[in-house]
Chains A and B, each alone.
Chain A
Amino acid sequence: MIDVSGLQLRAVFIQALRSFFIGRGYLEVDTPLRIPAPAPELHIQPFASEDWYLQTSPELCMKRLLAAGIPKIFQICKCFRKGERGGRHLPEFTMLEWYAAGRNYLDLMDDCEALLRFVGQALGRGSVLKVGGGQLDLAGSWERLSVAEAFARYAPRSVDEALADDMFDEDMVVHIEPHLGRACPTFLYDYPAPLGALARRKKSDSTLAERFELYINGLELANGFSELTDPIEQRRRFEKDLEGMAARGLKPGPMPESFLRDLPAMPEAAGIALGVDRLAMIFADGAEIDRVVAFVPEEL
């Protein structure tokens, strides 16, 4: 059923997202949805379109634009991921991504805080978000919790034990995520290095990736990181994921050669992907994803 108020809210807030980035000197870009090779990621399955693919994220094309010398870019576009459907997932969804040269993942956290406060103002909500029966304060300082701390605080084992037992994802979903972003939004940061396929390793601790996720009301909203700029390391990581796919009986896709070719020209940068439908859910008081899009696949 079409929820008109949900769609109106969505329209206003997408305009607010645009105003925010345009006001800060970002160039809006519009890269192709249909590409020859998405970034190989073990747990993300692309839809094939003839012998190419629908993008799972605009990440690779946007980084090529950074490499071409454009320092600040953003894009609001559709992404497609096979087999993802639930109260918080659609196989076709809307993503906001932004990339900036000379910045790191900590700067992106600051961007997130400023962006959500801006959107809250644009929607006339002020700085207090009412969601899921609780209240979140966007104005104060947001929680910054490392992955290791989150496991120590909420999970039945340490992050190292979870990785060794192959229970990282389960612990995250069952024990950790429900606690995140309750009184204020939470940045969960410093992921184990193997869980940041395109992220730069932390200089002070190479077992960690400079990657974070933003959570509000237990819902994962955005994934950002300091970008890996080393083409040899990047190729090695892609190869590992492609091997992992083959080991699971999945058809490994092609290597994104044009991206790897351009990567040496890319400056130090940080980039982030934020689920637009997810953010709309938060501003629609924690509604299911079905309520904030015009149609879901089952209605088509």
Chain B
Amino acid sequence: MFSASDFRKGLKVQIDGDPYIMTDFEFSKPGKGQALYRCRLRNLITGNAFERTFRSNDKLEKAALEERTMQYLYAQGDEYVFMDNTSYEQLEIAKAQLGNDVYFLMDNMDVEVLLFNGRPIGVTLPNFVNLVVTQADPWVKGDTSGSDTKPVTVETGFVLQVPPFVEEGDKIQIDTRTGQYVTRVKE
């Protein structure tokens, strides 16, 4: 259990059976009044957020969360299979739950899987991945159309904007947190 004096940004708690993260926290004490803890909490499964004000004798349960390093093995239909690097235990995560992350998963990539009561609820990828461009319009030298970027498709099917000099077959680095182009990778 966490008592109100333990509350802080980033704390992970459990309310009505769901895991929440405290995204905002403010200690307040109106003139001569009691200590109040204003919190904003985001449901780690649904993403829904709400604000609640707690008093100093209020308590919140600790969320039964666990983070494990796992390796991405393969996709089977809409299920993505991961393996625990130490126990070799395997588990599946649905494509919908992974969102845009499916575009940055490479075979044998290590990721951090967040589990709530043994159930995977989130995946943290490496911040950067290198992917090969599979489709790009050729760069017309002297192009005066004025556009600074052009769309390309990478090997996983992800489409993003890149500088005009990037060509088919190039390997590029992408920031998995934003989905944005970082640089061209020379190999």
- Give the B-binding residues of A (Cβ under 8 A): 41-44, 83-89, 168-170, 172-174, 177, 195-197, 213, 220, 223, 248
Residues of A contacting B28 with CB < 8 Å?
Answer: 86, 88, 173, 177
B36: contacting residue among A41, A169, A196, CB under 8 A:
A169
B5 within 8 A of A: yes
Residues of B contacting A174 with CB < 8 Å?
Answer: 38, 53
**In the complex where A83-B5, A170-B53, A174-B53 touch, is A89 in contact with B32 (Cβ < 8 A)?**
no
**In the complex where A170-B53, A173-B53, A174-B53 touch, is A87 in contact with B34 (Cβ < 8 A)?**
no
**In the complex where A86-B26, A174-B53 touch, is A220 in contact with B31 (Cβ < 8 A)?**
yes
Distance from B54 Cβ to chain A, minimum over Cβ atoms (Å):
10
Q: List 20 A-B contacts (CB under 8 A).
A: A42-B34, A43-B29, A83-B35, A84-B27, A84-B35, A85-B27, A86-B26, A86-B27, A86-B28, A87-B26, A88-B27, A168-B33, A169-B34, A172-B30, A174-B53, A177-B28, A195-B33, A196-B32, A197-B32, A223-B31
Interface residue tally on B, bucketed by range:
10 to 19
Residues of A contacting B57 with CB < 8 Å?
Answer: 248
A-B contact count (CB 8 A): 52
Distance from B161 Cβ to chain A, minimum over Cβ atoms (Å):
32
Distance from A44 Cβ to chain B, minimum over Cβ atoms (Å):
8
A41 near B32 with CB under 8 A, answer: yes
Residue of A nearest to B28 (CB): A173
Residues of B contacting A44 with CB < 8 Å?
Answer: 32
- Give the A-binding residues of B (Cβ under 8 A): 5, 26-36, 38, 53, 56-57
Distance from B73 Cβ to chain A, minimum over Cβ atoms (Å):
43
List 5 additional A-B contacts (Cβ < 8 Å) besides A89-B29, A173-B30.
Answer: A43-B29, A169-B34, A169-B36, A177-B28, A195-B33
- Bound Cα distance A42, B32 (Å): 8
- Bound Cα distance A168, B29 (Å): 12
- Bound Cα distance A172, B33 (Å): 9
Residues of A contacting B5 with CB < 8 Å?
Answer: 83
B30 near A177 with CB under 8 A, answer: yes
A43 near B26 with CB under 8 A, answer: no
B30: contacting residue among A41, A83, A196, A220, CB under 8 A:
A220
B32: contacting residue among A83, A88, A173, A223, CB under 8 A:
A223
Residues of B contacting A172 with CB < 8 Å?
Answer: 30, 33
- Bound Cα distance A174, B31 (Å): 14
B27 near A195 with CB under 8 A, answer: no
Closest 9 CB pairs of A and B: A86-B27, A169-B33, A172-B30, A213-B31, A173-B28, A43-B34, A223-B31, A169-B30, A173-B30
Residue of B nearest to A43 (CB): B34
Residues of A contacting B36 with CB < 8 Å?
Answer: 169-170, 173
> Which among B5, B27, B28, B31 has the greatest number of chain A C-beta atoms within 10 A?
B31
Residues of B contacting A86 with CB < 8 Å?
Answer: 26-28
A84 near B32 with CB under 8 A, answer: no
